[in-house]
Structure 1
Amino acid sequence: MNLILERTDAVPFFTEMSSVFKALGMRARDYDWFISDIETNYYGNGFTSEDQWMTGEALERFITENTVQFIWAVFSAFPKGTRFPVEVAPTVDGFPGYWSGVEVASQLANALFEIAAWDSSATILVGLPGKATERFVSVYPDAKLLVSAGR
């Protein structure tokens, strides 16, 4: 299922990933991540603006040790141990699928799900498992189906 969280007072700022994972009832360390189209208010501890593969443990450490707002970014989740050359990295602003009005899939083939930070004003969740969707909506009742949020 695909959701968007925007126009809400329920979060102190978009997209602080440790809060997103907590609301989903998930841990970053349970997956490996391809992170792309990155702009954030903090880089450091091995994290840069370059598109990158990151272990779930490293991502979890980075987001729990630092208060980071991701302004733009796409987090593509994969089973642990996944690595392959990414020829076309997922983008946020340049991806029209979010606003197409139809159910969209993760931009990278075989990604389990995708989390996108949209211009520090929305969190977009694509391909979420049912339980994570239910949990996120229970924490953030302002979240709505992405297909109904077409711009």
Structure 2
Amino acid sequence: MNLILERTEQVLFFTNMREVLAAASIVAQDYDWYISDIETNFTPSGFSAEDQWMCGEALACLLREPDVQFIWAVFSAVPKGFRSSVTAAPYVDGNPDYWNGTHLIPQLNGALFEIACWDSSATILVNLPMHAQRSFITKFSDTQPLTSSRRARQ
């Protein structure tokens, strides 16, 4: 099941990836990451808003930066050591597949799951492992299936 967290007061801001990963019991270092369609509230030292591969350790270090908010971004989690050629970068800004009823799967070939930051107003979780889904819903009880949000937006 794909999930969305929006329209809630359970979070200070929706796209604090440190909080998102913690709520889902996901350890950044357990994966490598392709981060794309990036817009942040500021650019931390040593980070670029360009689409990029990051090892989990580097992502964990970046997320220790206080107050970094990803306004728009797609975090694609892949197995450690995996790198694929990226012909079309995953994107969230303007991506109709989140809302049009398409069977949504991670956009990046080889990705296990993706987390999309939607305009600072929602966090979309695609293909999260079941234990991560349960953990996230336990932390944020206002989380809904993405299909419910799709109906509301149509």
TM over 0.5: yes
Indicate conservation of the 8 Å contact 2:4/2:143, yes or no. yes
How many corresponding residue pairs? 151
The separation in 1 between residues aligned to 2:82 and 2:14, in whole angstroms, is: 28
Indicate conservation of the 8 Å contact 1:33/1:75, yes or no. yes
Indicate conservation of the 8 Å contact 2:84/2:109, yes or no. no
Cα offsets for 1:86-133 (capped at 9, x unmatched): 111011022211102243101112210000000000000000111110
1:55 equivalent to 2:55? Answer yes
The separation in 1 between residues aligned to 2:146 and 2:133, in whole angstroms, is: 12
Structure 2 partner of 1:41: 41
Deviates more, 1:81-90 or 1:3-12: 81-90
Aligned residue for 1:14, secondary structure, equals coil
Cα offsets for 1:61-97 (capped at 9, x unmatched): 1101332110000000000011122111011022211
- Aligned CA RMSD, in angstroms, stands at 1.0
The separation in 2 between residues aligned to 1:95 and 1:105, in whole angstroms, is: 13
Deviates more, 1:74-83 or 1:59-68: 59-68
Q: Percent identity?
A: 58
Indicate conservation of the 8 Å contact 1:101/1:149, yes or no. no
Q: Which runs of 5+ in 1 are unaligned?
A: none
Structure 1: which 4+ aligned runs deviate by more than 2 Å?
none
The separation in 2 between residues aligned to 1:67 and 1:57, in whole angstroms, is: 19
Indicate conservation of the 8 Å contact 1:24/1:132, yes or no. yes
Aligned residue for 2:64, secondary structure, equals helix
Indicate conservation of the 8 Å contact 1:115/1:126, yes or no. yes
Structure 1 partner of 2:2: 2
1:138 equivalent to 2:138? Answer yes
The separation in 2 between residues aligned to 1:114 and 1:84, in whole angstroms, is: 15
Q: Which runs of 5+ in 2 are unaligned?
A: none
Deviates more, 1:5-14 or 1:96-105: 96-105
Deviates more, 1:93-102 or 1:26-35: 93-102
TM-score (norm 1): 0.96
TM-score (norm 2): 0.94
Indicate conservation of the 8 Å contact 1:71/1:119, yes or no. yes
1:91 equivalent to 2:123? Answer no
